[in-house]
Amino acid sequence: MKKSLWILLLISILFLAACTDSEPEVTLPTDTPSPCALTPLAEGCYTPSDDLDFISTTPEEYLISETFDDERINSTPRNWLLYRDQEYAVNGVIARIQGDDDHRFVEMFSDGKKSPQFPQNAPNPTFIFTTKFNLDIDRKGVLYGDLMIPSDKPNYVVNFGLATGSVNTISVRIEQDMRLSVKVGGPFFYYSGTGDGGDVTVTTYTLTKDTWYRFKLTWDASDNLVAAYIIIDDVETLLHSAPFHISNRFNAEPNGMILVPNVARVTMPRDGIPGWAYLDNVILERKGA
C-alpha cells in the first residue's frame, strides 16, 4: 500500500512538473524580449515622426454686410452676439429685428443694470452687441452703420464703433441729450493701473430723435490713424481723427505694435438708466476698395 502511495506521489510530481514546463511555451510569444529594450534610440528601433502636416496660420479675411432685411421679425440677428450672463434680468438687454417687408432693422434695449464682472472697478457696459470681421492682413478698413434714437421710448447713451477684441478702437457716442462725441481707445485691462480709459472728443453736433444717421469709421495701421465721420444727405463730414490709442498697442506701450480691430459693436453703459436705440446697414469694406 505504501509503495502504491509512493508511486502515485512520484507520478503526480512528474505530472505537475510537466505542466510547469508547458506553461512558458504557451506564453512564450508574448514574453519575447523586445530587441529594442537596451537600444531604444538605435536605428531600426526608434523611428522619428515625419514632418507633421500642420495647417496654415495665415488669417482668413472676411467682411460684414448687414442690412437685416432678410432676417426674421423679432429674432436676434443671426451673425450677431448679444452679451448677457447669469446676473442679467431675462429682458435686461434686447436686440431684435423690427420693421416691415421693405425695411428691417435692429431694435436695441438696455436696462443698464448689470455688466460683465471683469475688469473689476471698470465702467463695463451693460449692452454689448457685436459681430466680427477680419482684416488682419490689410490692417486697414472702413465701417459704416446707421443709428436712430426713437422719441417714443426712453433713451440713454449709445456707442457704435470698432473694437479690438474687447477694447474700443474708435466709436461715436450719442449722449442722452443727443449730443455727439467720439471716443478713441480704452478701457484696457491696465485700466485701473494707468487710467487709459480712452479719449473722448465732443463734437458740435446735436442729433435729432427719430432720424437715421449714418456714420463711417476708418482705421489704417500703416498711417497710425483712426477717424470718425457723419454722413448727412450723402455729405461726409469728419468728426474726429487721431492716432491709435495706447490701449490698442501691445502691452499698452507707446511703441507697442498696433493691434487692429476685428469687432463692430454697439454698447450702452451700466448706469442703471434704461434706453432704446435702432441699428441698420452695418457694412464693412476694404479701405480704398
Partner 1 sequence: MKKIVLGLIMLLTFILLPGFNLQANTHGIVYKDSDYQRLHAVIEHVENVLKYGKAYNTETDLIPDAINTLTGEPAKWTFPNRAEVPYVNMANQQNFLRTLVALSNVTGSDKYKNEAVSILTEFIDNYQNVNGLFHWGGHRAINLDNLEVQSFEGPNGPHELKNMMPYYELMMEVNEEATIRFMKQLWTAHFYWATTDMNRHGSYSTAFDINVFGQEIPNHVIEFDEDGMPIIPADSPGLLPFVNSATDLAYAAFTLSNHTGDPIPSDWANYLMSQYNRASHPVTGMTVYQYKSTAVTRSPLECADPAYTNSGCGDRVARQFRDFGSIARESNVAWKNTQAVYVDNILMLLEAADKYGQSHFTDWARQYLEGYLEYAYIRVDGRNKIIPMFIDGTVTYGYVTPEVGYFGPSNMRLDYVDMPTTYLLPILRTILLTEEDEDKEKLWSYFRDIVYTFGIGDIGSLGGATPNLNIDNAIDDPFALMAMVELYDATKNPQYLEAARTIGNNIVREKFHRGFFVQSEIMLYSRLDMPDTLALLTLDAVIRGIPLSDMPYYLADTGYIHGYLLSDDGVVETRSYTQNMVYTKTIFDWE
- In the complex with partner 1, which residue's Cβ is closer, 76 or 98? 76
Does residue 162 belong to the site contacting partner 1 (CB under 8 A)? no
Among 108, 128, 142, 284, binds partner 1 (CB under 8 A): 128
- In the complex with partner 1, which residue's Cβ is closer, 230 or 264? 264
199 in Cβ contact with 185 (< 8 Å): yes
Does residue 17 belong to the site contacting partner 1 (CB under 8 A)? yes
- In the complex with partner 1, which residue's Cβ is closer, 99 or 119? 119
Does residue 91 belong to the site contacting partner 1 (CB under 8 A)? no
Going from the C-alpha of 103 to that of each of 121, 190, 209, the distances in angstroms are 41, 42, 18
Does residue 184 belong to the site contacting partner 1 (CB under 8 A)? no
* Contact flags string 137-156 toward partner 1, x per CB under 8 A: --------------------
Q: In what order do the strands lie in the sheet with 167-174?
A: 81-82, 127-132, 263-268, 158-164, 167-174, 179-184, 199-206
21 in Cβ contact with 15 (< 8 Å): no
Does residue 44 belong to the site contacting partner 1 (CB under 8 A)? no
Cis peptide bond upstream of 119, omega within 30? yes
Compute CA 181 distance to the chain's CA centroid, rounded to the nearest angstrom.
26
Does residue 25 belong to the site contacting partner 1 (CB under 8 A)? no
143 in Cβ contact with 283 (< 8 Å): yes
Among 86, 91, 204, 255, binds partner 1 (CB under 8 A): 86
Taking the C-alpha atoms of residue 201 and residue 180, their distance in angstroms, rounded to an integer, is 9
Q: If binding means CB under 8 A, how many residues of this protein chain bind partner 1?
A: 69
Q: Which residues pair with 162 in a beta bridge?
A: 170, 264
Among 130, 176, 241, 281, binds partner 1 (CB under 8 A): 130
Among 126, 197, 248, 275, binds partner 1 (CB under 8 A): 248
Does residue 49 belong to the site contacting partner 1 (CB under 8 A)? yes
Single out the residue of 270, 222, 221, 283 nearest to residue 84, CA to CA: 270
198 in Cβ contact with 247 (< 8 Å): yes
Among 67, 69, 79, 81, binds partner 1 (CB under 8 A): 81
The residue written with cell numbers 477694447 in the block is: 167
Residues written for the chain: 289
Q: How far is the CB of 119 from partner 1 (least distance, A)?
A: 6
**What burial letters (b/e) apply to 214-246, b meaning 16+ CB within 10 Å?**
bbbbbbbbeeeebbbbbeeeeeeeebbebebbb
Does residue 171 belong to the site contacting partner 1 (CB under 8 A)? no
Does residue 19 belong to the site contacting partner 1 (CB under 8 A)? yes
Q: What is the contact surface with partner 1 in residues (CB under 8 A)?
A: 9-10, 12-13, 16-17, 19-20, 23-24, 30-34, 36-38, 40-41, 45-49, 52, 54-57, 60, 81, 83, 85-87, 116-121, 124, 128, 130, 132, 163-167, 188-190, 192-194, 247-252, 256-257, 259, 262-263, 265
